[in-house]
Amino acid sequence: MLKNLLGVLEAAVVFGGFAGLVTGMYLLATTPLLGAVAMFASMALLLSSVARLSKAQEERHECDAGRERFSRSRAGSSGK
């Protein structure tokens, strides 16, 4: 349940980041300084979200590789 809640929270952060980028583009036309600040803040939100996602993917990949190595060593020793 907690993982689902964290996934929803992460999706909300990504959605907020994209909404901030669109808002920043609009503000860039009307008030350039505010638009640039809004776009930089939105990019920081999106970057932190991508960093968390890539870290989770890397941990999952390492876990799968460890399991695969273990299963290969078991398969090799049981065949003898």
d(CA 20, CA 22): 5
**The two structure tokens encoding residue 52:** 């968390």
- pLDDT confidence of residue 6: 74
The span from the first CA to the last CA of the chain, in angstroms, equals 44
pLDDT band, very low/low/confident/very high, at 11 (cuts 50, 70, 90): confident
- pLDDT confidence of residue 33: 96
**The two structure tokens encoding residue 18:** 């994209």
Question: What element of type H or E holds 74?
Answer: helix 32-78
Give per-residue pLDDT as tens, 23-56. Answer: 999 999 999 999 999 999 999 989 988 887 777 7
d(CA 56, CA 42): 21
**The two structure tokens encoding residue 62:** 């390492």
- pLDDT confidence of residue 51: 81
d(CA 27, CA 35): 4
- pLDDT confidence of residue 79: 52
pTM: 0.62
